[in-house]
Amino acid sequence: TVTIELKNGTHVQGTITAVDMSMNTHLKKVKMTVKNREPTSLDTLSLRGNNIRMYILPDSLPLDTLLIDDLPKPKAQKRKAESDLRGRGRGGRGGRGGRGGRGARGGRH
């Protein structure tokens, strides 16, 4: 069970079921306390990531053991020698020539 404080002062306590890349957080068995109001119980709740101020983790969580990176590191592939890269296309940046991306005007700026 974690406590999440939102930017508007609301506290949400519950069990995290999922977190996505935008930090949207999905919880179950939720107790939500809106600032200066009585707590409300909910089965599930989804919080938009940009509304979250902080996660308050329980003291009983053994972070020192959970945060150890025990996965083997992938071996770096050897880079090709510079001479192997010669003769591949024209120039180094690719694309269709010219300067800039979308909206670049031809001629002087």
Using one digit for the tens of pLDDT, what is the confidence trace for 51-65?
Answer: 999 999 999 989 888
C-alpha–C-alpha distance, residues 69 and 63, integer Å: 12
What structural domains and CATH numbers belong to the chain? 2-58 (2.30.30.100)
C-alpha–C-alpha distance, residues 21 and 23, integer Å: 5
Q: What is the mean pLDDT of residues 42-53?
A: 97
Q: Which of 2, 8, 3 is nearest to 50 (CA)?
A: 8
Using one digit for the tens of pLDDT, what is the confidence trace for 70-108?
Answer: 777 777 766 655 555 566 666 556 556 666 666 656 556
C-alpha–C-alpha distance, residues 79 and 23, integer Å: 36
C-alpha–C-alpha distance, residues 41 and 43, integer Å: 7
| CB-based contact 64:72 (threshold 8 Å) | no
